[in-house]
Structure 1
C-alpha cells in the first residue's frame, strides 16, 4: 500500500491547549476511533495532531483520488493515526468502523476530523460504540485569555465558588465578539479578523454548499436571515419571507419551505450554525413548551460578518449587541458544558413555556443535575434576570409531586461587571470574562 502521503506528526509547536483536549484523550481510551468535528478553522486538525502519531490529509496531493479508489489506504500510519477531512470520501467512515471491529478491543487507533457532514451520512451506520464523537467550536474567552476562568462551571455544580474580580469594558467586549475565537486570528484586530471571516463565509457558500447539494444564493440569504434572528426559534415561514423577499409569510409555498429547510440543513451540516433544543422538564407537558430549536452561529463573528457589523456599529445598536453577545455566551457555555463529567451529547438547551416564562440556557447533565442561566449584556438587568430564574425554579420544582430535582444553581451571565458574586437570594452573577470550564 502506498503511504507516501502519510506523515509522522507531533504536537504542533505553536499549539495552544484547548478545553476539548481532555475529552479527546478520554475518548481515545474508550473508543476504537474518535471523530473531531466542527466548523472549518476552529482548530480541529491541530487538536487532533496534538493527540496523534501520524496523519493523512485526504484533500492533499493524490490522496483524494487514491482514497476514493481504495478507502483502506487512509488507515495506514502510526497510531493514533489522524485522517484529516475524511468527509471528502464518505465511505471512509464505514471503512474505519469495520477496521475498529477487526481490532479486537484496541482503543484509540484513528482520529477523524470533519468540517461537514456528507450528504449520504443518514444512510451510513452511526458508528455507535466504535467511533466516539467530539464536537469543537472556535476558542472560548477562557482559551484566548480574555476570561480569567476563576468561576468554574464544573465547580458551580459542586457548590464551589469564590467571588472574584475580572476585566471589564464594553469596547473590548464588542471587539472580541466581532473578532471571534478563530485560533489563527485571536491576535488580530477585529477589522482584520473580519476579512478572514468574510472569506471563510464566501468559501462556505461557493464551495461547501454546492458540494452538499445546496443552492449557493438561497443559502447565503438564509444565513443572513438567521443572523438577523440569531437566538430565536424562528419559523421556516419567517426565513422564507426573508429569503424570497415576500411581504408576508402567507406568500410562502410548500416548495419555498422545502428549499429553505434544505438551506438550513446545509448550514447545520457545515457546522456553521448550532441548533439549541428546548428543554422539557419531567413535570411539564411538551404541549405547553416551546421546543422548536433556537439557532446560533458557531462563533459570534459569523453573525457580525453577515450583518456587516464592526465593533463601533455594534455599540451603536444595543439590541443587536445583546443578540451577538448571547451568541458568544452560548458558544462558550457549550464548550464548558461538554467538558463536564456526565456531559450529554447536547448539554445546552433553553426553556420557554406557554406562560412566557423562559431561560436563555439550561445546562443538563446525564446524572440529572441541571442549572439555568439568563444572559444579559448589562449588569443593570441582573435583578430582573435573577427574579425570572427563581420563578422558573419554583414553577418546575414547586409541586410536591414534581419529578424535577431542584437546580444545582441559577446564574446570570453578564457582559459588563467587574466582579463575580452570589446574591442574597442565591443567584450567581457572573461576568463572562470570569467564567470557565
Structure 2
C-alpha cells in the first residue's frame, strides 16, 4: 500500500472541479471522481486526500481481488485509485460508509472506466457516494483563456467586455494539444505523439478487457471523428466499423457489434454524450432525442484522423469541428461549476422544423441560456439570428411556459474581445470565456 502526505503533487494545477470535490466530501461518506485516463483524476484526488491505495500497482491488484477491504485502509480521506479494476471495492466502500455512522469525506474513488456488468456493482451507492465527472483541462485551467467573461457572471446578469489573445494558428495548436495536465506547455507535435500512443493503449489494452476487439473499436472511433458533433445512426457507425460499401447494409450482428463497441468507448469515458434539450422538463421528448457525441478531449480527433495543427489550418471544416469539440468540453466544465445545477447541464436543441442550436445550459431552477459555436467572426450574424429565432419560437408558445433565456451568446474561435451586440446577443471568443 502506498501513502502520501496529503499534499497535492508539486506540479498540480488547481482545477475548477476542486470546489465540487471539497463540497461533496462534506456531503457524502465517499466521493467517486470519474473521467478519461490521464485527465488528472488522481492528482485532484490526492490534493484532497491524506493517503492512497493504487489498485493497479504492484501486488495491490492481486491482494485487493482476494480482499477488497484492503483498499480501504489508510488515513482519511483515503484515495482508492482505479477502483473499477476490482468492482467489489464499491460495495465495500458503501457498507463501510453505512458503518461509519454518518461521517463524511472518508474515501475518494477514482476510475477511468465503469464496470459493464451490472452484477459487478450491486448497488448504486445513492446517498452514500457522491459522483463527480472530471474532464481534461479547459482553456481557463491551462492558462490559455483569461476567463474574464464568466459563465457564472452571465447567469447572474453581469457582463464586462474583456480583451483576449487572438490568432487562428494558435487556436489550431490548442486544439491539437488538448487539455492533458501532464502535457501542459508541450508543443502540439509532441502531444499528438502522446495522444496517438494513448489511443493505442485504449484500443489494444483497455477495450479487450471489456471483451471488445481493438480494430473494431478503432474504426468506431474513426467513424465518430468523421461525424463529430452529430448524432450518427447505428447504421452509419456499423458501416464504418466493418468497412462496408456505400450500397451495403450492415447485418444485425454487425449493428450489435458496433453498438457494443460504442458502449465500451463510453464506459472508458473516451466519448461524451450531449443530450437533447426540450424546454418542458417533464416532456417525454427529452428521452427520445438522440444525444450528440464528442470526444473527451479535442486532441483525440486530429490524432485519430492523422492531422497536425498545420493540416488542420488547411482543412477549415475539420478545424471547425475540432474547435466545437473543444468549446463543448469547456462549456461542460464551466456549467458543472454553476450553482443550482443538475447532472446533465449541457445539452443541445434540435426540433422537427430544422432549428438547431449547438449548446443549451439549463440549471435546476429552470433558468437557461443558449450558445452557438462558430470558428470565425464571419458567421456571427447568422448564429445570432438563429439564437433569436429560438428565443422567439419558444416564448411564442404560451402553453410551454418557457422562461426567457438568461442570455444568448456566440462562442467564437477568433476575436480580440468579448462584447454585446445591439440585439443583446453576446459574442465571446473562447479565450475570454471562463467558469
1: CA distance, partners of 2:209 / 2:227: 26
- Is it true that 1:358 corresponds to 2:367 in the alignment? no
Tell me if structure 2 keeps the 8 A contact 1:148–1:436.
yes
- How far apart are residue 6 of structure 1 and its match? 4.2
* 8 Å Cα contact 2:276-2:286 kept in structure 1: no
- Quote how far apart the aligned CAs of 1:9 are: 3.3
**Which of 308, 311, 314 is 2:309 aligned to?**
311
- Gaps of at least 5 residues in structure 2 are none
Partner of 1:83: 80
1:32 and 2:50 equivalent? no
How many angstroms does 1:138 deviate by? 0.6
- Give structure 1 stretches of 5+ with no counterpart: none
Q: For residue 5 of structure 1, report the CA deviation from its aligned partner.
A: 3.7
Q: Give the match's secondary structure for 1:83.
A: strand
Match of 1:384 in 2: 382
Give the C-alpha shift of residue 17 in structure 1. 0.3
Secondary structure, in 3 states, of the residue corresponding to 2:170?
A: helix
Tell me if the contact between 1:283 and 1:402 (Cα under 8 Å) persists in the aligned partners: no
Tell me how far 1:270 sits from its aligned partner: 0.5
Tell me, yes or no, if the aligned pair for 1:97 and 1:130 is still in contact at 8 Å. yes
Q: What is the distance in 2 between the residues matched to 1:152 and 1:196?
A: 32
| d(CA) in 2 for partners of 1:215, 1:138 | 26
- 2:373 partner SS: strand
Size of the alignment, in residue pairs? Answer: 434
Give TM-score, length-normalised by structure 1: 0.97
Query: Cα distance, 1:241 vs. partner?
Result: 1.1
The whole-number CA distance in structure 2 between the counterparts of 1:141 and 1:391 is 30
Asked whether the 8 Å contact 1:58–1:67 carries over to 2, the reply is yes
Maintained 8 Å contact 1:329/1:432: yes
Counterpart CA distance in 2 for 1:228 and 1:173 is 20
Pairwise CA RMSD: 1.5
User: Structure 1: how far apart are the matches of 2:381 and 2:282?
Assistant: 26
- In the other structure, the counterpart of 1:345 is 343
Per-residue deviation at 1:7?
4.4
In the aligned structure 2, how far is the partner of 1:121 from the partner of 1:115? 17
TM-score by length of 2: 0.97
- Secondary structure of 1:350's counterpart equals strand
CA contact 1:237–1:249 (8 Å) conserved in 2 = no
Query: Do the aligned residues in 1 keep the contact of 2:6 with 2:48 (CA within 8 Å)?
Result: no
What SS does structure 1 have at the residue aligned with 2:399?
Answer: coil
Paired residue for 1:410, among 408, 429, 432? Answer: 408
CA change 1:356–1:230 in 2 (3 A) is same
Pairing 1:127–2:125 present: yes
Q: 1:145 aligns with which of 127, 139, 143?
A: 143
* Kept in 1: contact 2:279–2:400 (CA 8 A): no
Q: Give 1:99's aligned residue.
A: 96
1:234 lines up with 2:225 in the alignment: no
Q: What SS does the aligned partner of 1:95 have?
A: helix
Correspondence list, 1:40-189, <5 A: 40-121=37-118, 124-189=122-187
1:224-277 CA-partner distances (Å, limit 9, x unpaired) = 110011100100100111111212375111111100000110000010010111
